[in-house]
């Protein structure tokens, strides 16, 4: 035990918190997107056949027709003919995975599984943020990750009972992980000085780094050990992190047994009186009538709709439209997430610099970065809708779009901490609740549009929808966003000020009355 604390003494408590939050959100997304890449190998492709058959397959994105003649009695004939100029990638997706169990789930059922995560996710967003404000973010974040990691192990077993069983499990995982994102906001308000919050909030984008690592790792696990290994590996790593979280993290500097006097004094003096650990009653009326709050909520909902559509559906698009195999799929699908994390950290550092040196107001900083981060992907989706058949163009667009989207950490994502740090968890719960509905609807949308029709023409419709929603979100925050501390952030302080004004008025009236009596 002594040696453990000796090693940790090299780092400040705030640095340990940063590291644990980074790894926490990486694993958070590992548990979320492991199904996204695994589902590609869990199902029998809709155009596959186990019987003797002869069929023609045409792909819009590659100007050719492939004819495959399969004989079950012998493997001596496998004729591939093209009726036009052969493209740069003239063959169907190459499956390099080992032989493994597959299930006959169609596009609709697959998207039920992918969307079921959000059925549970939306239920705990708002309660999770408020619960973290009351009992502390350590317990809420920690137990959510612990339970989610444990139940992930059950995925391969439940798959044998059908897609409904898997969907129910994913709902449970969504229910637990729904509380994690809003729970970290109270932790930020209690531990991180205002001039460092944009950079700390960018740690949440380590979720993108987690996705960037999960995609290629899962691709190789599936290829060599089968899709079941994806859930065993991610579940194990999640359990290990959960144990470390409970040992190393505390809800506030005042509760930490290892923090130095100097570090505690710096944090508490930097934060000042804008944040309290007291259990304040939520000013619901003020929150629901607040235009700055709704600008955050609506912008986040639009952004999350677009983000989750890409997160959940990119591997499917890579396979059926661009004809990437599973290992290429995992590697290329990871590029946008890696770029997003790097860009999130970079832009957040710039935002903190601008705020600390008073180069721009908080409102200007949030609006500039939000507009850039949300509007740009919208414009790129328009290009994707017209030129998405080209493999290089598609990969480039997805990578650039999600990379630039990382700038939301310097924009609206930390705006709740600007306007009401005491209720940042509640506000984030509101934004993620509505945003999760968008994630659920996006899976239903893709499943409906591409049902038994995995063509580029159908995917173009999806890209146009994404473009419209991204642009709407960007303009909403640009017009209505605000970075000023709201008066309802501290109800007790507001009541005391009101009481003091009343007392002063009473004293003034009493003094005036006494003066009049004296004169008369």
pLDDT at 376: 95
Copy the structure tokens of residue 138.
Answer: 């350590």
Residue 81's nearest CA partner among 102, 61, 57, 105 is 57
* CB neighbour class for 359 (10 Å; exposed up to 12, middle 13-18, buried from 19): exposed
Q: What is the DSSP string of 322-345?
A: T---HHHHHHHHHHHHHHHHHHHH
Give the whole-angstrom CA distance, residue 376 versus residue 379: 5
Burial tier of 288 (Cβ tally within 10 Å: 0-12, 13-18, 19+)? exposed
Which pair of tokens denotes residue 21?
């939050």
Q: How many CB atoms lie within 10 A of CB 461?
A: 14
pLDDT of 316 = 75
Query: Domains along the chain?
Result: 9-43+102-265 (1.20.1250.20), 281-489 (1.20.1250.20)
Q: What is the pLDDT along the chain (520 residues), one digit of tens a residue?
A: 444 444 456 888 999 999 999 999 999 988 988 888 888 888 887 654 333 333 333 456 665 433 333 333 344 333 333 333 333 333 344 445 567 788 888 878 888 898 888 888 888 988 888 898 889 999 999 999 999 999 999 999 999 999 999 999 999 999 999 899 889 888 998 898 888 888 888 888 787 778 778 878 888 888 888 899 999 999 999 999 999 999 999 998 989 998 999 999 999 888 876 665 566 788 889 999 999 999 999 999 999 899 878 776 777 787 778 776 655 555 666 677 778 888 888 999 999 899 888 889 999 999 999 999 999 999 999 999 998 888 888 888 888 998 899 999 899 988 988 898 888 888 988 888 888 777 678 877 887 888 777 788 888 899 999 999 999 999 999 999 998 989 888 766 655 555 555 555 545 444 444 445 444 4
Beta bridge partners of 64: 59
| Both structure tokens of 392 | 């290089």
In this predicted structure, what is the pLDDT of residue 277?
59
């Amino acid at each position: 035990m002594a040696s453990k604390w000796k090693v940790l003494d090299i780092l400040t408590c705030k640095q340990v918190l940063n590291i644990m939050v980074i790894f926490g959100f990486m694993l958070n997304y590992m548990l979320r997107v492991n199904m996204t890449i695994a589902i590609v190998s869990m199902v029998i492709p809709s155009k596959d056949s186990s019987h003797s058959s002869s069929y023609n397959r045409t792909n819009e994105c590659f100007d050719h027709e492939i004819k495959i003649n399969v004989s079950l009695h012998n493997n001596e004939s496998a004729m591939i003919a093209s009726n036009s100029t052969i493209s740069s990638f003239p063959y169907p997706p190459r499956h390099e995975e080992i032989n493994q169990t597959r299930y006959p789930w169609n596009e609709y059922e697959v998207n039920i599984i992918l969307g079921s995560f959000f059925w549970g996710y939306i239920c705990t967003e708002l309660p999770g943020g408020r619960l973290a404000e009351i009992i502390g973010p350590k317990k809420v974040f920690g137990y959510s990750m612990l339970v989610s990691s444990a139940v992930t192990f059950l995925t391969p077993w439940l798959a044998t009972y059908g897609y409904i069983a898997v969907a129910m499990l994913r709902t449970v995982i969504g229910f637990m992980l729904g509380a994690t994102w809003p729970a970290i906001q109270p932790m930020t308000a209690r531990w991180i000085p205002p001039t460092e919050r944009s950079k700390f909030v960018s740690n949440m984008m380590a979720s993108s780094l987690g996705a960037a690592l999960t995609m290629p790792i899962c691709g190789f696990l599936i290829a060599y050990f089968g899709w079941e290994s994806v859930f065993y590996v991610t579940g194990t790593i999640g359990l290990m992190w959960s144990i470390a979280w409970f040992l190393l993290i505390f809800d506030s500097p005042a509760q930490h047994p290892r923090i130095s006097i100097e570090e505690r004094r710096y944090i508490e003096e930097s934060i000042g009186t804008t944040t309290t650990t007291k259990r304040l009653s939520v000013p619901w009326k003020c929150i629901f009538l607040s235009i700055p709050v709704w600008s955050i909520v609506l912008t986040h909902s639009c952004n999350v709709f677009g983000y989750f559509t890409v997160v959940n559906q990119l591997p499917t698009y890579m396979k059926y439209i661009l004809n990437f195999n599973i290992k290429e799929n995992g590697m290329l699908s990871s590029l946008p997430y890696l770029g997003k994390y790097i860009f999130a950290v970079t832009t957040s550092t710039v935002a903190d610099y601008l705020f600390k040196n008073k180069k721009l107001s908080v409102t200007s900083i949030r609006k500039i970065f939000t507009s850039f981060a949300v509007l740009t992907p919208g414009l790129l989706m328009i290009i994707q809708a017209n030129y998405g058949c080209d493999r290089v163009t598609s990969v480039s667009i997805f990578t650039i779009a999600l990379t630039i989207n990382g700038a939301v950490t310097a924009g609206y994502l930390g705006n709740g901490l600007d306007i009401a740090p005491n209720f940042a968890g509640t506000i984030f719960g509101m934004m993620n609740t509505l945003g999760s509905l968008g994630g659920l609807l996006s899976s239903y949308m893709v499943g409906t549009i591409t049902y038994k029709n995995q063509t580029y023409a159908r995917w173009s419709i999806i890209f146009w929808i994404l473009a419209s929603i991204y642009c709407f979100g960007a303009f909403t925050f640009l017009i209505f966003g605000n970075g000023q501390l709201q008066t309802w952030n501290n109800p007790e302080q507001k009541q005391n000020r009101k009481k003091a004004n009343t007392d002063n008025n009473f004293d003034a009236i009493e003094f005036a009355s006494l003066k009049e009596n004296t004169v008369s």
